[in-house]
Amino acid sequence: MGDLFWNKIFGAVLATVLVMFGIKELGHALIHPHEPEVPGYKIAVADEGGADKKDVEVAEAPSLAQLLSEASASSGERVSKKCAACHSFEKGGPNKIGPNLWGVLGSPSANHAGFSYSDAMKSFGKTWDYETLSTFLAKPKAAVPGTAMGFAGLKKPKDIANLLAYLRTLSDAPLPLPAVAQKAADVAEAVTNMAEAGVDALTDATTHVQEQVNEAAEAQQPE
Ligand code: HEC
């Protein structure tokens, strides 16, 4: 086996290590808890030897997610006084003019035991996630036409976000904030893309090594 043979092997292995190191660095860049100035971020996965160039574009967070990330549950508790004439909030609290609201966030609509909902609410058929509840609280009669909830709505998105942050605490298993859930999904997607790029690069590197070995082996063949 000539020197050239081992040089080629060494070169191929070095290339592989460099590719892996590159992927690791990208991982660090992504996972570092570094708050972006603008919500939303862009990760460019470098084009490594034949792997498709992969850009992960993450759209700007929706404004509700932004508001929720800055919301205050204690301010929300103050907002909830506007609801207290008709709703109780404590666990196991009574239904009043409206149903008890413990655990309402994340639960199906018109689902509270012992309350007789309007037909409109019964046929609404959604889950009270952040987006749905926010739309409802802004203008109940527009979100659920025919609802029996006699409340005009909350004008300030900030009040709604604070109220949602408060409602979130009224649960044994608080609903994950949309920003957090979205970020986790984005990171999972980015990691998957990186892994794919890494597999492609490694496959290429392995093929390269194989070619070098074959070439070197051929060169060794007696003429
Ligand atoms: C004037 C009384 C009244 C006020 C004030 C009021 N609600 Fe209601 N609310 C109701 C009634 C009645 C219903 C049942 C609606 C139906 O069946 O159509 C209801 C339903 C709801 C529901 C749906 C619950 C479920 O189980 O699906 C939510 C959520 C809700 N209200 C939240 C609030 C919040 C938060 C406030 C304060 C910002 C508020 N409400 C203010 C009377 C009121």
CA-108 nearest atom, ligand 1: 27
Instruction: Tell me the average pLDDT across 95-120.
Output: 98
CA-150 nearest atom, ligand 1: 1
pLDDT of residue 61: 44
* pLDDT beyond 60 at 62: no
State whether the beta carbon of 141 lies less than 6 angstroms from ligand 1. Answer: no
Pocket test of ligand 1: the residue of 79, 80, 83, 102 to mutate, having most ligand atoms within 8 Å of its CB, is 83
3-state secondary structure at position 54: strand
* pLDDT beyond 50 at 132: yes
- Let me know if 213 is exposed, middle or buried by CB neighbors in 10 A (0-12, 13-18, 19+): middle
Weakest-pLDDT range from 1-5, 34-38, 127-131: 34-38
Whether pTM exceeds 0.85: no
Instruction: Tell me the average pLDDT across 147-159.
Output: 97
State whether the beta carbon of 147 lies less than 6 angstroms from ligand 1. Answer: yes
CATH of domain 64-169: 1.10.760.10
State whether the beta carbon of 121 lies less than 6 angstroms from ligand 1. Answer: yes
